[in-house]
Amino acid sequence: MYRMPDAATRRREADIAEVAHALAAARCAARLAGLGTGEFVVRELLLSVIREINRAEAAVARLVSTSSRDVVA
Protein backbone atom coordinates (compact mmCIF):
# COMPACT_ATOMS: atom_id res chain seq x y z
CA MET A 1 0.00 0.00 0.00
CA TYR A 2 1.37 3.40 -0.99
CA ARG A 3 0.88 6.37 1.29
CA MET A 4 0.81 9.83 -0.28
CA PRO A 5 3.27 12.33 1.23
CA ASP A 6 1.75 15.10 3.30
CA ALA A 7 1.34 18.65 1.97
CA ALA A 8 4.50 19.96 3.66
CA THR A 9 6.61 17.21 2.09
CA ARG A 10 5.13 17.82 -1.35
CA ARG A 11 5.70 21.57 -1.02
CA ARG A 12 9.33 21.01 0.02
CA GLU A 13 9.89 18.64 -2.91
CA ALA A 14 8.36 21.19 -5.31
CA ASP A 15 10.65 23.92 -3.95
CA ILE A 16 13.70 21.70 -4.37
CA ALA A 17 12.66 20.90 -7.94
CA GLU A 18 12.20 24.64 -8.59
CA VAL A 19 15.77 25.28 -7.43
CA ALA A 20 17.12 22.49 -9.61
CA HIS A 21 15.27 23.75 -12.69
CA ALA A 22 16.25 27.38 -12.10
CA LEU A 23 19.91 26.46 -11.70
CA ALA A 24 19.83 24.28 -14.81
CA ALA A 25 18.34 27.18 -16.78
CA ALA A 26 21.00 29.52 -15.38
CA ARG A 27 23.76 27.12 -16.39
CA CYS A 28 22.38 26.82 -19.93
CA ALA A 29 22.06 30.59 -20.28
CA ALA A 30 25.60 31.07 -18.99
CA ARG A 31 26.95 28.54 -21.49
CA LEU A 32 25.12 30.28 -24.32
CA ALA A 33 26.44 33.63 -23.10
CA GLY A 34 29.96 32.28 -23.34
CA LEU A 35 29.34 31.13 -26.90
CA GLY A 36 27.60 34.32 -28.00
CA THR A 37 29.42 36.67 -30.29
CA GLY A 38 27.08 39.65 -30.21
CA GLU A 39 27.35 42.01 -27.27
CA PHE A 40 23.56 42.46 -27.04
CA VAL A 41 22.97 38.70 -26.99
CA VAL A 42 25.54 38.19 -24.25
CA ARG A 43 24.02 40.95 -22.12
CA GLU A 44 20.49 39.55 -22.49
CA LEU A 45 21.61 36.02 -21.66
CA LEU A 46 23.51 37.20 -18.61
CA LEU A 47 20.39 39.07 -17.46
CA SER A 48 18.53 35.79 -17.86
CA VAL A 49 21.14 34.11 -15.66
CA ILE A 50 20.56 36.73 -12.98
CA ARG A 51 16.78 36.23 -13.13
CA GLU A 52 17.11 32.46 -12.84
CA ILE A 53 19.52 32.71 -9.93
CA ASN A 54 17.11 35.11 -8.18
CA ARG A 55 14.31 32.59 -8.77
CA ALA A 56 16.44 29.85 -7.20
CA GLU A 57 17.24 32.08 -4.25
CA ALA A 58 13.54 32.77 -3.65
CA ALA A 59 12.74 29.05 -3.82
CA VAL A 60 15.47 28.26 -1.29
CA ALA A 61 14.15 30.99 1.01
CA ARG A 62 10.68 29.41 0.81
CA LEU A 63 12.18 26.00 1.48
CA VAL A 64 14.08 27.21 4.55
CA SER A 65 11.03 29.09 5.81
CA THR A 66 8.83 26.02 5.37
CA SER A 67 11.36 23.75 7.05
CA SER A 68 11.62 25.96 10.10
CA ARG A 69 7.81 26.16 10.37
CA ASP A 70 7.60 22.36 10.11
CA VAL A 71 10.09 21.93 12.96
CA VAL A 72 8.12 24.28 15.22
CA ALA A 73 4.75 22.71 14.42
Give the pLDDT confidence of 11-29 residue by residue, as tens digits.
988 988 899 999 899 988 8
Domain hosting residue 60, numbered range: 15-68
pLDDT category at 9 given cuts 50, 70, 90 is confident
Give the pLDDT confidence of 34-70 residue by residue, as tens digits.
787 678 888 888 889 999 999 998 998 888 787 666 6
DSSP string across 12-71: HHHHHHHHHHHHHHHHHHHHHHHH--SHHHHHHHHHHHHHHHHHHHHHHHHHHHHHHHHH
Residue 53 domain-assigned (yes or no): yes
Residue 73 domain-assigned (yes or no): no
Q: pTM of the entire structure?
A: 0.67
Cα–Cα distance measured from residue 1 to residue 21, given in angstroms and rounded to the nearest whole number: 31
Measured CA distances, 15 to 1, 2, 6 (Å): 26, 23, 14
Query: In total, how many domains does the chain have?
Result: 1
Residue 52 domain-assigned (yes or no): yes
